[in-house]
Amino acid sequence: MRSKTKQTYNVCFCFRRRFRVAAWEVPADIRRVFKRYSDESGVMSGALLQRFLVEEQKEVNATLDDALSIIDRLRLPLFHPRALNLLSFFNFLFSHLLNPPSLSVLQDMSSPLSHYFIYTGHNSYLTGNQLSSDCSDIPIINALKNGVRVIELDIWPNSSNDDVHVLHGRTLTSPVALIKCLRSIKEYAFFASNYPVVITLEDHLTPDLQAKVAEMITGTFGDILFAPSSESLKEFPSPESLKGRIIISTKPPKEYLEAKEVQEKKEESLTEKPAVDEEAWGKEVPSLRGGTISDYKNIEDEDDLHNEEEIGISRDEYKHLIAIHARKPKGGLEECLKVDPDNVRRLSLSELQLEKAAETYGKEIVRFTQRNILRVYPKGTRITSTNYNPLIGWMHGAQMVAFNMQGYGRSLWLMQGMFKANGGCGYVKKPDFLLKDGPNNEAFDPNAHLRPKITLKVTIYMGEGWFHDFKHTHFDKFSPPDFYARVGIAGVPYDTVMKKTECVEDNWSPSWNQDFEFPLAVPELALLRIEVHEYDMSEKDDFGGQTCLPVWELRSGIRAVPLYSRKGDKYENVKLLMRFEFI
């Protein structure tokens, strides 16, 4: 606990302001909780701590031995034997003893791959923007270390047509050798999770080079490569059965795009203005409630970068490596969404295509994703590697919502929040209503006006840790920071909302002590969004930390919630003390 000190700020050359940096003050509600579970002498014994864990924290399996072990690790020698006083109890609320990181896979992993949301990257090899940044294996390594399970590689011939490069085609991006990317994938594939890694290939190769790619892949991955026994699958295997395996997903071999299509695509990319989505900490996530979807006219499709004519007889070695076939039947979207009972496949749609399709075919998309895999990718005008609202994909059952992982911003924070679930293994089981039709044989309609199932009550007591993790002039040169918090829900349209606390002035340990209630119609898809900002009257508010938490994994009771930087790195000390209740 921090002792009281004083801090001095220079206002001008001859004038200084001094501020007292106060010690932690125990919020009144925490005092009431402690009083409820302490004895007449004002201490909390092991039996009373056990009661607190069971009744307040809903940890029904907590034993007396668990409570005594906690006390032994927290109590000070001068205190009552094997008991906590108010301050040691308050320390306990912030400690990892009450808030251990969840590393356990909690969900059933024996269902087909199509039953899971999968942590998916887009153009995984790019170090920055989509037009001129370097291509490298470093972003791939970072993505795998962070738990990403789907890596996308665009493969092209090198200048002499005798080797294969990875690069964003028809741009100024510098290439990286395919074999280097494959070797890095093998080395880091299972760094963060033992569950399978899918490599999606955007293939722009001749048959000879496809055969060379087949040699590279089999030579690099050997026995860990999953090669299906037949060209088509009636059902995808499960993540559990594919632990430690590498999976290849692409279209059957295609020819190059015709010159006319190349020129049109290039002109479209260069004439569109970049989407300026990332400002101080990222533009607010676009709402899914209505909008201007019908205004979108130019819809690009990465899968259509190939001519639809097959290349005579393709190289068998290459075709046999493809475990998840990416196919788009000829015809309109209605034809693409037809479900084949004897064959499963992957379909790719741009974010704009999905938004437009959802207006008319929302239920059909949900039904398609019950057996097949839908991949959604960013529109081509996201030149600065920004992202979109991932909920548009998830609430329609899309398994592979592909994101640019190079930058930061609120959309990416939602993606990181979703995949904190299930032990961070990169696979999150889809809710049952997305896996089967309802009682009247009706698929889930995410845009329907649904009644709330449950209400999440969130109390935000206070924040702590900025004093230790930031320089004292980081937020304001002339005074301590003025913090406020934003708390809300990202989910289906009728659950989505953001609220805000009052601003606490000149305090490194702000106490808000405010309650917020969120009625939830679809808690199974809801993410709790938390952000802290420092109010600045003359400039943009400063960023003070963020996190997104899957509502379905929130643990009831009083919890210390760690905050993360804009890039998703966990701060060493910054935490919020909060309470979660389901009513």
Active site amino acids? 122, 168
Asked if residue 28 lies in contact with residue 514, where contact means CB atoms within 8 angstroms, the answer is no
Rounded-to-integer distance, Cα 251 and Cα 106, Å: 33
Vertex 295: Cα angle to 292 and 300 (nearest 5) = 110
State the DSSP code for 475.
S
Pull the structure tokens for residue 433: 């209503």
- Three-state secondary structure readout of 45-57: EHHHHHHHHHHCC
Q: What are the distances in angstroms from CA 344 to CA 120, 233, 340, 367?
A: 19, 6, 7, 13
Q: How far apart are CA 195 and CA 247, in angstroms?
A: 11
Helix (H, G, I), strand (E, B), or coil: what is residue 511? strand
Helix (H) or strand (E) holding 70: helix 64-74
Closest CA to 479 of 531, 534, 523: 534
Rounded CA-CA distance 56/297 in Å is 53
Phi, psi at residue 557, to the nearest 5°?
Answer: 105, -170
Q: Is 197 helix (H, G, I), strand (E, B) or coil?
A: strand
Among residues 149, 222, 136, which one has the least CA distance to residue 178? 136
Distance in angstroms (rounded) separating the CA atoms of residues 393 and 397: 6
How far apart CA 210 and CA 356 sit, in angstroms, is 35
d(CA 319, CA 153): 17
User: Which tokens sit at 414?
Assistant: 């939602």
List Cα–Cα distances, 257 to 154, 171, 552, in angstroms.
Answer: 14, 15, 45
Identify the residue whose tokens are 């049952």.
Answer: 432
* Residue among 298, 291, 311, 292 at smallest CA distance from 268: 298
Q: Which amino acid is at 169?
A: G
Contact present, 335 and 329 (Cβ < 8 Å): yes
Ramachandran class of 163: left when φ > 0, alpha when ψ lies in -120 to 50, beta otherwise: beta
Helix 64-74 and helix 86-94: axis angle, to 10°?
100
Placement of tokens 């643990």 in the chain: 555
Count CB atoms within 10 A of the CB of residue 500. 14
